[in-house]
Amino acid sequence: MLGENGAGKTTLMRIIAGVAKNYKGTIELDGETREDRRKAKLSFTDGLTGFSDSSKIQDVVNFYINIFSDFDENEFEELRKFMKLDPEMKLSQLSRGMREKLIIALTFARKADLYLLDEPFGGIDAMARKKIINSIIMWKDEKSTILISDHFVNEISALLDEIVVVKDNTILEHKTADEIRENHKSIDEYYEGLYEDEDE
């Protein structure tokens, strides 16, 4: 899901996740419209809200173990090691990039049909970002879907099956990545060209 800052990407992501309540219309996931049943099918980490700065990473993990029956502690441990996160570190000690790595690890440690990642790479340095992006496919089940909201179009383009462009809280375009590649040199060029056309 692509779009400029303020386009409505985060709002849409939170609506799908069942976190945002003030909206009109119906959200359907695999035929389910009831919020509790939708939530059971998806994994979304809402920026570590609700945890104090004095909480340790392990405290957050313990919470997830108690709240989410689909949380796989062993899977998280693999992800935590890959992200080089110390479970004894307090949230107040985490840089923005480390927080984002923790959010990615928590999200993918759950077994879900749909994974939601809202601008997950912004604070992660380029080398680590590339490594994480290249490894995402390893962490997800082939039957599951990942919805990523991000600005790093070039870096994530190889992962993409479909592109949704959001502008002014509206879906501006929805195309398959193959459609775009057949008619454009790159997804990045398509995205930039789309906004240029809209501004003319």
Note the pLDDT tens digit of each residue in 32-47.
Answer: 888 888 889 999 988 8
CB 187 within 8 A of CB 177: yes
Superfamily grouping for domain 9-199: P-loop containing nucleotide triphosphate hydrolases (3.40.50.300)
Average pLDDT over the chain, rounded to whole?
87
Query: What is this structure's pTM?
Result: 0.88
- Domain extents in the chain: 9-199
Q: Which two tokens stand for residue 130?
A: 């590339």
Is it the case that residue 155 has pLDDT exceeding 90?
no
Q: Which two tokens stand for residue 169?
A: 């809280």
* CA-based torsion, 135, 113, 118, 170: positive or negative: positive
